[in-house]
Amino acid sequence: MVTQLRGEAGSRQVENARFAIAENGGGFSGVEEASTCITILGRQ
């Protein structure tokens, strides 16, 4: 995420990236994730 926002991703770079979002789920409660963490980064 930070690499994209800094413009340092080389051939994988998304042009004019201003926001990045990551979702990570873990653990289990039955058949669903027990917890989820969402991170949103942005640049000005």
Per the prediction, the chain carries an average pLDDT of 93
**Average pLDDT of the segment spanning 20-39:** 90
Return the higher-pLDDT residue of 33 and 42: 42
pLDDT band at 17 (very low <50, low <70, confident <90, very high): very high
Buried-exposed string 19-44: b where 16+ CB fall within 10 A, e elsewhere? ebeeeeeeeeeeeeeeeeeeeeeeee
Q: Is the pTM of this model over 0.85?
A: no
Given a cut of 90, is residue 20 above it in pLDDT? yes
